[in-house]
Amino acid sequence: MKKGTVCEGTVERIQFPNKGIVRVEDTVLTVKNALPGQRVQVCVTKNRSGRGEARLQEVLEPSPLETVEQPCRHSGLCGGCLYQTIPYEEQLKIKEGQVRDLLRPVLGEILPMSPILASPRPEEYRNKMEFSFGDAEKDGPMTLGMHRRGSFYDVVTVEDCRIVDGDFRQILRAVLVYMQERQVPFYKKMARTGFLRHLLVRKAARTGEILVDLVTAPGYVPEEDFTEMLLNLPLKGRLVGILHTVNSAIADVVQSDETSLLYGRDYLVEELLGLTFRITPFSFFQTNSLGAEVLYEVARQYIGDTRGKRIYDLYSGTGTIAQILAPVAEHVTGVEIVEEAVEAARENAKLNGLTNCDFIAGDVLKVLDSLPEAPDLLVLDPPRDGVHPKALRKILDYQAERIVYISCKPTSLARDLVYFLEAGYRVEAVQCVDMFPATANVETVVQLSQQKPDDVIRVGLDLDELDITAAESKATYQEIKAYVKEQTGLSVSSLYIAQVKQKFGIIERENYNLSKSEDARQPQCPPEKAKAIVEALWHFKMIEGSI
């Protein structure tokens, strides 16, 4: 199938985060933003050895799962939400299944995984939005909202967004009308002209406090009636701060060269699990406050008994987890690269009367070298890309009794878990928490424990009675490759097959497991191919159990 070929097919399943799988003749295509069960028309953009990628052109028939009668009217236009047309219960099943598929090749067929936990609010749950100024079409009227799906430039005014509450929508509409009436131009990234860049809005779920930050290019100064306009809005929450941030960066990111206070204060107050937190415009805080309570309750349960223990909270943000654990721990140290978040964490600790936790500003990779004592327990809440490999090695060297890994990207989690298993850790429990209803994202919490010598059960075997080659003799490598190709269209190497067989305890010859040179880095079997190999091993009865 050549590049540019237009074809039709049915989406069999969706891989994390948004990759629909469509089988057309003997080719397996990956199509972004297609839902399971949809009949779609696609255009092939890449194809190699029966495995390719395609661009979604049209949904010919909706999925049987799409039963929501009145989804957000921006559904399919803005790039924020994928599952608006699917009932929430089905969304949860999809996300849990995706995480299971990613972790199964790493942890085996029997996963210590509990059913996914839902967000307390499936709608209007977000406490922070970064709206962009722009236009929906070139030289069209100014818009304010989210980028159109698949576009770096077009912006859709999301005045009916369902994942934020009415105060967000009201502020968005009012600011857009205000700026349109005064003909203030938005910032054009390529031409580097205009002023308006972003509108950052935060609202605390528990206290109802609202913070608004207008982000512009240098040269624009908000008029006094801008503040008056916002203060006169009939909001359900309470506007406690209005700020103006100047951002001269070329990149389309929300950051501050200079921030000035137009009204009130530069932070809002949120309450979480009985603690109080000051949140500034740019400090990290979970975007679903009520969902965060569910998430951190799981983390607190997984970390277990903390009495007399020294804990490191790495990638600590505003110190939420550290402060939740501090009351019953000997000492908690948080490490976070964003200095503003660290300052907020320190203020929050004072606010909550906690004296046994401290926070260090810096890159985890570098800070770990300066910490004098090894921790008893570790909490990891890394960014989407996971833990830096060099930092991961230092973390493993601590040999902490227990580790709780909170992941916002299960593909990064699956990659990192391999290193924990190789270092002697055992995965005790896995819990998905849906922090982002309607979107393709999901949080996963993993409990790991260090296996001590007492954990090892020594068993004596009579090798004369054990046929250790029985499983291996059931199918050759060529037969496994042929089966995988026939069933999935994937091509797998002998090295990949050997890696998967080794995870199931099937003895492998040395030449399949070692690099050809000492300096060579051995490629690791991708999760999708590992899953296909596992299915082949099961088919040939080389492993047992259900898959």
Contact present, 203 and 209 (Cβ < 8 Å): yes
Name the token pair of 84.
């608006």
Scan for tokens 């406490």, then name that residue: 127
Contacts of 192 (CB under 8 A, 6+ apart): 217, 250
Tell me how far apart the alpha carbons of residues 547 and 543 are, in angstroms, rounded to a whole number.
10
**Element housing 167 (H / E):** helix 166-181
Pairing, β 275-279 against β 310-314? unpaired
The β-bridge partners of 261 are 243
Contacts of 468 (CB under 8 A, 6+ apart): 507
Instruction: Name the active-site residue from 81, 408, 432, 525.
Output: 408
Contact present, 417 and 407 (Cβ < 8 Å): no
Residue 266 identity (one-letter amino acid): D
SS3 state of residue 266: coil
Tell me how far apart the alpha carbons of residues 159 and 145 are, in angstroms, rounded to a whole number.
8
Q: Compute the residue count for the chain.
A: 547
SS3 state of residue 503: helix
Pairing, β 275-279 against β 357-361? unpaired
Count of alpha carbons within 13 angstroms of residue 29, beta-carbon side: 32
Between the alpha carbon of residue 300 and those of residues 160, 296, 406, the distances in Å are 36, 6, 11
SS3 state of residue 190: coil
| 161: annotated active-site residue | no
Peptide bond into 372 cis (omega under 30): no
Burial class of 361 by CB neighbour count within 10 A (0 to 12, 13 to 18, 19+): middle
Name the token pair of 425.
């850790």
The residues assigned a catalytic role are 408
